[in-house]
Amino acid sequence: MKNKSFGIIRNVLFIGGSDPMVYLIRKFLKKNIKVDVITSKRHSETQLPINQKKLMDILKTLKVDVKTIKNINNNLFIKENIINKKYDLILSFGSAWIFNKKIIDTFNEKILNFHPVYLPYYMGAAHFTWQILNSEKFAGITFQFVTNELNKGDILIRKKFKINKGSRIPIDYFNNHYEITCKFLDTFSNKIFNQKCFNRISFESYNIEKEKEFFPRLNTKLNGFINWEWNTDDIVSFCNSFDSPYPGSLTFLNKKKIYIKGVSFYKKKKYHPYCSGLVINKIDENIIICTSDGLIKASSIFSENGIKINTFIRLGNRLYTPRIIFEKSLLEKPNF
């Protein structure tokens, strides 16, 4: 284990976009540290779950110099906007790009990647969705050095913690995670500001190759289709994993796509598989849907246009996902 400090920090480049990134930007600005941001169109236009505002709107309010680009690895852009700026530190939060060798070599040991997971577990993307699907009880946070070998840098600092028992859908995970992340970022930034050493963890010591778990990026509209052949628990966890702040899980009603949110277990009971997807009851506005081994309750069902359609759903309607659509959803890879 080797200690690491960064010396005096005068100017920092943030790359990507997230609520934790905004939190840390504010802390750096309060210390009169120059902050620049490079982000993608996707990041700039996304409403952040905690701040409830688009990243670009927040950065404009903070009067931060921000560039929205398609490709960070353009050699002319690198020279004029990164290398010539001589940043003391580069912090990546969900970057849309893998940095090329020129950037990494120029800023050797000055580029850190923020992972909202406890490496080497749940590497990749869509972290909270995958954790809900797998009924994961632990979460984490990591800052890792960016090197020329992807995800093989030493760990600067990380933290593991239990997920709140009440956390059920992604927005719960965002809120729970954000609260702990802010404290983690306080510790990180205070060490940076006071030029304290970090007890880094070498790549070899945390056995990433044997222990790593990689889960790919997901997109609700491509990957969020329900398989009604699953059992009750699997359907509920799947629906919950695509719930707020996302549009909801997908299926079909009368040949039209619909989104389902607010899904919970209702009753355990054995039904024939042919019953799966049938609407067998309505309690107030809650839709009671049959599965092969029980009943689930959905509080909100929306049309593809985002209109709530609970009142239009009739007893005996069947929710279904054509097999060809579901199989395609398994193979679809989001291209942001």
Residue 15's nearest CA partner among 29, 28, 25 is 25
The number of domains in the chain is 2
Q: Which contacts qualify for 331-335: CB closer than 8 Å, 24 or more apart?
A: 332/219, 332/222, 332/223, 333/216, 333/217, 334/217, 334/218, 334/219, 334/222, 334/223
* pLDDT for the residue 150: 74
> Quick one: pLDDT at residue 206?
67
49 and 179: one domain? yes
- The number of CA neighbours under 13 Å toward the Cβ of 163 is 23
Q: Report the SS3 class of residue 117.
A: coil
Domain end: 188, 215, 242, which one? 215
Does 75 reside within a domain? yes
pLDDT confidence of residue 207: 65
- Cα separation, 69 vs 141, in Å, equals 27
Residues 206, 254, single domain; the answer is no
Q: Which of 197, 215, 233 is the last residue of a domain?
A: 215
> Is residue 236 located within the same domain as residue 196?
no
Residue 208: the pLDDT is: 65
Residues in contact with 34: Cβ distance below 8 Å, sequence separation at least 6, in sequence order: 10, 11, 12
**Residue 201: predicted pLDDT:** 87
Per-residue model confidence as pLDDT tens for the chain (336 residues): 567 888 999 999 999 999 999 999 999 999 999 999 999 999 999 899 999 999 999 999 999 999 999 888 887 888 888 888 889 999 999 988 888 888 888 898 899 999 999 988 998 889 999 999 999 989 999 999 998 887 788 999 999 999 998 899 999 999 999 999 999 999 999 999 999 999 988 877 766 667 788 999 999 999 999 999 999 999 999 999 999 999 999 999 999 999 999 999 999 999 999 999 999 999 999 999 999 999 999 999 999 999 999 999 999 999 999 999 999 999 988 875
Which amino acid appears at position 253 of this protein? L
26 and 131 share a domain?
Answer: yes
pLDDT of residue 33: 96
Q: What is the pTM of this model?
A: 0.88
Partners of 3 in beta bridges: 199
Q: Which domain holds residue 52?
A: 3-215
**Last residue of one domain, picked from the residues 172, 187, 215:** 215
Residue whose structure tokens are 């009753």: 267
Determine the pLDDT at residue 248: 97
